[in-house]
A and B are shown apart, each in its own frame.
Chain A
Amino acid sequence: MADTTLAPSFQDMILRLHAYWSAHGCLILQPYDMRVGAGTFHTATTLRTLGPESWNAAYVQPSRRPTDGRYGENPNRLQHYYQYQVIMKPSPPDFQALYLGSLRAIGIDPMLHDIRFVEDDWESPTLGAWGLGWEVWCDGMEVSQFTYFQQMGGFDCKPVAGELTYGLERLAMYIQGVDSVYDLRFNDAGVSYGDVFLENERQMSKWNFEVADTDTLFKGFAAAEAECRAAIAANVPIAAYEQAIEASHLFNLLQARGVISVQERASFMGRVRDCARGSCEAYIARFHDQWAAKFPGWSA
């Protein structure tokens, strides 16, 4: 193991990543203020990877996976966790080296540990997006997802963006050498991850699985879908995309409540995808002429 006594706390790890990526030209953004399943849903990734303009950003995104909730009783599974997301467009030629530098910045010595890039292609059917890349292993553990986006919202990425996603809790557990996420040192002053989040996990797992009113969720889904269409018609694609995110999360909650059958599942996913694609399409349409004028080699 790494020398765990010197390992950064959870918050220090985030600060080090911020400092590192800031020094390498990324905007340090804050989380998107909506419930999402992954850092990829942040507009700083989805919408900003559309179009030809360069874009480099890093941020933490709280991510909600209602079906992964375990009432705080499983040492590895959470319904709410943090992803650290880096997006660089176009993907820089030394993207792998930059990434490895970030591991050193948080205390992983690649001469002592076995760092590997293992094939793992990424696809998000609800975003109409896919890319090729790897899961990065450190001593057999997946510590990050590394992806070259090829399509977003059904559109070719021109140019391609590189995306890094670090599962912060898992990475921190590795660096700090603890077996339960709740035992992580959140800071260096005696506060643990459990002190901050254990009660949230208990309550939110119960709500996700047992309490959330499914009628309200179904209605909310339909309302978000309608609002998304209206926003697309009004040429406000960012607002439309927010409704797509909303629909996506409500769908995840409905799944956790176990009220969506196998057959219905595909249809709900298709509806979310249509919202996301429609928003991306409207976003491109809104900026198309501006981009084409600035980047002569580019077309949508």
Chain B
Amino acid sequence: MIADFLLELRSEEIPARMQAGARADLERQFRKELEAAGLKVGSVSVWSTPRRLALIARDLPLATEATREELKGPRTSAPPQALEGFLRKTGLSADRLTERDGVWFAVLEKPGRQTDDVLADAIPAIIRTFPWPKSQRWGAVSLSSESLRWVRPLSGIVALLGGDVVPCEVGGVVSGRDTMGHRFMHDGVITIDGVDDYAAKLHAAHVIVDHATREAIVRKGAQAAAAAADLVLVEDEGLVIENAGLTEWPVPLLGRFDDAFLTVPPEVIQLTARVNQKYFICRDRAGMLANAFICTANIAAHDGGQAIIAGNRKVLAARLSDARFFWEQDQKTPLAEQAGKLARITFHEKLGSLADKVARVADLAEWLAGEGIVPGADAAQARQAAELCKADLVTEMVREFPELQGLMGGYYARAEGLPDAVADAIRDHYKPVGQGDDVPTAPVSVAVALADKLDTLRGFFAIDEKPTGSKDPFALRRAALGVIRLITDNGLRLPVAEGELLAFFADRLKVQQREAGVRHDLVDAVLALGNENDLVRLLARVHALQTFVGTEDGRNLLAGYKRAANILKKETWAPLPQTYTPDPAEAALMAAIAEAGPQVGTALENESFTAAMAALAALRAPIDAFFESVTVNDADANKRANRLDLLDHFRAAVHKVADFSRIEG
């Protein structure tokens, strides 16, 4: 006997950004509660709209299975307290126990439970323990601070197993079969029979309960609206999901704004439309930003949405005129003059003002260019770009849209007629911001971006403001990762840091390389050699090592190394002049080390790491043969000492490349 189950939790508007998480949490909590009660849960679908979370579980058994469990108790000879304890635990009386071989046994029988009974307990439990990121109390019951919490006031529960209501109550809300349709396009309650008519009845009441369907309507509707205007939608999946989360009956509508606003940079228009108004934007066939926006209404209005478009156009116009005002106003002040105002802004109380920071960055950027560390960068341009790179922070536009920092500086620099290399460097100096962000490659941009981040890292480390645990208030991990990517992507050769800061870079490098598929133990093995502060050289060595340990030669050499290292760890010896004729395998190993050692050294000096690995590979056969036929711990003290010495030389030769003891496997 099985039945389908429907649960709808209706509330006032759930924030769009919380809906995906809530769906996942609802399914997880539901499975957890039912499985704890012994019910097998099969397929579950979860849906959300701004005003409801819904769950459908197909084919639930109508009762849990009866269970029988035998528990072993104390020996019959045990003190009476032990027996009392056992009776308490099992809830049985003494005459219900059975005795076998001098031991008491209890049989616990649990009858099957009706599923509607399980659900009547589970639903309030799910609601009471629901992990909303933020929740609230409401209404008369909130006289007590223990009253029910929900994301916004909870207004209704539909709970139907088969065709029957699962009776339950939580926080004064009683389950039933009635729900509500669209807030404006439907009047009165809708009565649900069960799982099968739920979505259809809501649809008839202008609610599309399946979020994926609404997302598709927003996505395709926006594309179609753009196409109908001979434009191309700028796709934005985040906006699709957000608009679907704000509507029960989404209706994408295209409106136009005055094309005089197109003098404002397209990023500003896009940001204004997206962040403040949740509008899509469009491009024309040539790829230029068009004077069109697409809003997603939550209603099919009588007039086809004309009033809604007109209203939204007005709001966007007000926003864009603010933006255009900022854009024009900001250009009246040259960036060099704006940069002067940075003296009034504190960067950090121990690191001076932003102007102080800019001065340091300018010196460093000029040096990086002048020394040829960033090949091809003009030192004067690097200085100029660095001196102006933070100036946009005091512009009206960046005050309004902080996320446009850098980008606006670039626009204003170009508008002033500064060279493209300078404007690009100002624009890109925060890059790379995240993992997926582009790494600058233009020389002047690289110099300024690198100088800015290095200065930040050096400064905060100097005043002992290092990240700890999850705390990284100055985003130093991100800055370090940016430095690593700037250096490695552009092949820059410089001593990046020393001491603690170098160790910090090493940690970041390991994290970054792990994501790129490089083994962290190999990075450790190279770092263990000491102060390697040239990241390009370090990574070249790690990459060669990873290739090498993946070969047959590499694996066997590692095995030989581990064997040698284990022996050396256990033994102590004093060197003795050799007084015997070495075994052939011993002599071969000596010869191989004598040849490979210098080869490895030369290859390393030339940073030819593949050649260094190849030279090491030549030791593999001799070390294998040595362990095969030579006894290290020979009874003869002279042989023992000299063979241990030989293994020590072998280890030293290998260590020129990397500390193989750090390598796993």
**B318 contact set on A, CB distance < 8 A:** 76, 179
The CA-CA distance from A118 to B279 in the complex, in Å, is 14
**B308 contact set on A, CB distance < 8 A:** 112-114, 139
Would A90 and B142 count as touching, CB distance under 8 A? yes
- B16, B141, B307 — most chain A CB neighbours (10 Å): B307
Q: Is A263 an interface residue (CB 8 A)?
A: yes
Q: Is B570 an interface residue (CB 8 A)?
A: no
Within 8 A of B (CB), among A143-197: 148, 150, 156-160, 162, 174, 179
Would A132 and B136 count as touching, CB distance under 8 A? yes
Binary flags per residue of A189-226, CB closer than 8 Å to B gives 1, else 0: 00000000000000000000000000000000000000
Would B143 and A113 count as touching, CB distance under 8 A? no
- B136, B152, B184, B295 — most chain A CB neighbours (10 Å): B136
Would A159 and B143 count as touching, CB distance under 8 A? yes
**B140 contact set on A, CB distance < 8 A:** 90, 159
Binary flags per residue of B252-289, CB closer than 8 Å to A gives 1, else 0: 00000000000000000000000001010000000000
Selected A-B contacts with CB under 8 Å, 25 pairs: A1-B307, A91-B138, A91-B139, A92-B139, A93-B155, A100-B183, A111-B185, A112-B301, A113-B311, A115-B184, A116-B298, A117-B50, A119-B13, A119-B15, A138-B311, A139-B314, A157-B142, A158-B144, A158-B145, A159-B137, A159-B143, A160-B136, A179-B314, A179-B318, A263-B349
**B185 contact set on A, CB distance < 8 A:** 111
Q: Is B315 an interface residue (CB 8 A)?
A: yes
Q: Is B17 an interface residue (CB 8 A)?
A: yes
Would A113 and B301 count as touching, CB distance under 8 A? yes
The CA-CA distance from A115 to B184 in the complex, in Å, is 9
The CA-CA distance from A3 to B628 in the complex, in Å, is 99
Q: Which residue of B lies closest to A298 (CB)?
A: B143
**A150 contact set on B, CB distance < 8 A:** 136-137
Name the prevailing secondary structure of the A interface residues.
Answer: loop
The CA-CA distance from A262 to B345 in the complex, in Å, is 9
**B303 contact set on A, CB distance < 8 A:** 112
Besides the contacts A1-B310, A158-B142, what 14 more A-B pairs have beta carbons closer than 8 Å? A1-B314, A117-B50, A118-B246, A132-B134, A134-B13, A139-B307, A139-B308, A140-B311, A141-B311, A148-B138, A148-B153, A150-B136, A160-B139, A298-B144
* Chain A residue total in the interface (Cβ 8 A): 44
The CA-CA distance from A157 to B307 in the complex, in Å, is 40
The CA-CA distance from A138 to B310 in the complex, in Å, is 11
The CA-CA distance from A73 to B178 in the complex, in Å, is 54
Q: Is B400 an interface residue (CB 8 A)?
A: no
Please give the distance in Å from A262's CB to the nearest CB on chain B. 6
Would B299 and A114 count as touching, CB distance under 8 A? yes
The CA-CA distance from A37 to B140 in the complex, in Å, is 29
Would B307 and A112 count as touching, CB distance under 8 A? yes
Q: Is B106 an interface residue (CB 8 A)?
A: no
How large, as a class, is the contact surface on chain B? 35 or more
Q: Is A121 an interface residue (CB 8 A)?
A: yes
Binary flags per residue of B131-163, CB closer than 8 Å to A gives 1, else 0: 000111111111111000001110100000000
- A2, A92, A138, A159 — most chain B CB neighbours (10 Å): A159
**B312 contact set on A, CB distance < 8 A:** 114, 139-140
Q: Is A110 an interface residue (CB 8 A)?
A: yes
**A92 contact set on B, CB distance < 8 A:** 139
Would B143 and A93 count as touching, CB distance under 8 A? no
Q: Is A287 an interface residue (CB 8 A)?
A: no
Would B152 and A132 count as touching, CB distance under 8 A? yes
Q: Which of B16, B137, B138, B316 contacts A140 (CB 8 A)?
A: B316
- B50, B142, B312 — most chain A CB neighbours (10 Å): B142
Q: Which residue of B lies closest to A92 (CB)?
A: B139
Binary flags per residue of B290-330, CB closer than 8 Å to A gives 1, else 0: 00000101110111000110111011101000000000000
Would A96 and B277 count as touching, CB distance under 8 A? no
**B155 contact set on A, CB distance < 8 A:** 93
Q: Is A131 an interface residue (CB 8 A)?
A: yes
The CA-CA distance from A111 to B183 in the complex, in Å, is 10
Given contacts A114-B297, A132-B152, A148-B153, contact A2 B307 (CB under 8 A): yes
Binary flags per residue of A108-137, CB closer than 8 Å to B gives 1, else 0: 001111111111010000000001111000
Would B246 and A156 count as touching, CB distance under 8 A? no
Q: Which residue of A lies closest to B309 (CB)?
A: A139
**A138 contact set on B, CB distance < 8 A:** 311
Q: Is B346 an interface residue (CB 8 A)?
A: yes
Within 8 A of A (CB), among B1-43: 12-13, 15-17
Would B134 and A90 count as touching, CB distance under 8 A? no
The CA-CA distance from A115 to B13 in the complex, in Å, is 12
The CA-CA distance from A119 to B15 in the complex, in Å, is 5
Q: Which of B13, B138, B316, B346 contacts A160 (CB 8 A)?
A: B138
Within 8 A of A (CB), among B153-197: 153, 155, 183-185
Given contacts A76-B318, A160-B136, A263-B346, contact A114 B143 (CB under 8 A): no
Would A121 and B346 count as touching, CB distance under 8 A? no
Q: Which of B137, B139, B141, B298 contacts A114 (CB 8 A)?
A: B298
**A160 contact set on B, CB distance < 8 A:** 136-139, 142
Q: Which of B183, B247, B307, B316 contacts A113 (CB 8 A)?
A: B307
- A2, A52, A141, A262 — most chain B CB neighbours (10 Å): A141
Binary flags per residue of A274-300, CB closer than 8 Å to B gives 1, else 0: 000000000000000000000101100
Would B307 and A131 count as touching, CB distance under 8 A? no
**A162 contact set on B, CB distance < 8 A:** 138
Would B298 and A159 count as touching, CB distance under 8 A? no
Would A117 and B13 count as touching, CB distance under 8 A? yes
The CA-CA distance from A139 to B143 in the complex, in Å, is 36
**B299 contact set on A, CB distance < 8 A:** 110-111, 114
Would A116 and B246 count as touching, CB distance under 8 A? yes
The CA-CA distance from A250 to B279 in the complex, in Å, is 39
The CA-CA distance from A166 to B183 in the complex, in Å, is 21
The CA-CA distance from A275 to B300 in the complex, in Å, is 50
Would B136 and A148 count as touching, CB distance under 8 A? yes
Q: Which residue of B lies closest to A76 (CB)?
A: B318
- A92, A121, A132, A295 — most chain B CB neighbours (10 Å): A132
Please give the distance in Å from B114's CB to the nearest CB on chain A. 32
Q: Which of B16, B139, B151, B311 contacts A139 (CB 8 A)?
A: B311
**B15 contact set on A, CB distance < 8 A:** 119
Within 8 A of B (CB), among A1-22: 1-2
Please give the distance in Å from B47's CB to the nearest CB on chain A. 19
Would A112 and B144 count as touching, CB distance under 8 A? no
**B12 contact set on A, CB distance < 8 A:** 96, 117
**A133 contact set on B, CB distance < 8 A:** 152
Q: Which residue of B lies closest to A77 (CB)?
A: B322
**A298 contact set on B, CB distance < 8 A:** 143-144
**A139 contact set on B, CB distance < 8 A:** 307-308, 310-312, 314-315
- B155, B277, B312 — most chain A CB neighbours (10 Å): B312
The CA-CA distance from A173 to B506 in the complex, in Å, is 59
Binary flags per residue of B508-525, CB closer than 8 Å to A gives 1, else 0: 000000000000000000
Binary flags per residue of A86-110, CB closer than 8 Å to B gives 1, else 0: 0000111100100010000000001
Binary flags per residue of B479-506, CB closer than 8 Å to A gives 1, else 0: 0000000000000000000000000000
